[in-house]
Amino acid sequence: MRMAGGQDSLRCDYCKNIYFSPPDDEGVRFLDEALELLCPVCMVPLWNATLAGLPLCICKRRRGMSIKMPVFEPLVEQMRAERGGGATSGPVDGADLDRRIDCPSCRHPMETHLYYGGGRVAIADCERCEANWLDGGALMRIARAQPPD
6 assigned to some structural domain: no
- Asked if residue 3 has pLDDT above 70, the reply is no
Give the Cα separation of 51 and 83 in Å (integer).
Answer: 13
- Asked if residue 1 has pLDDT above 60, the reply is no
- pTM, full prediction: 0.81
**pLDDT tens-digit map of 4-54:** 555 666 677 777 777 666 777 788 888 877 778 999 999 999 998 889 888
Helix, strand, coil percentages for the chain (3-state, nearest 5): 20, 35, 50
Give the Cα separation of 125 and 118 in Å (integer).
Answer: 17
Give the Cα separation of 127 and 117 in Å (integer).
Answer: 18
**Average of per-residue pLDDT across 129-136:** 96
56 assigned to some structural domain: yes
20 assigned to some structural domain: no
**pLDDT tens-digit map of 39-92:** 999 999 999 888 988 889 999 999 999 999 999 999 999 988 887 656 555 666
76 assigned to some structural domain: yes
**pLDDT tens-digit map of 102-116:** 999 999 999 999 998
54 assigned to some structural domain: yes
Nearest CA to 62 out of 81, 37, 44 is that of: 44
Strand order in the sheet with 10-11: 2-3, 10-11, 18-19
Domain that holds residue 42: 31-144
Residue 8 CA: distances (Å) to CA of 39, 84, 112: 22, 23, 30
* Count of domains forming the chain: 1
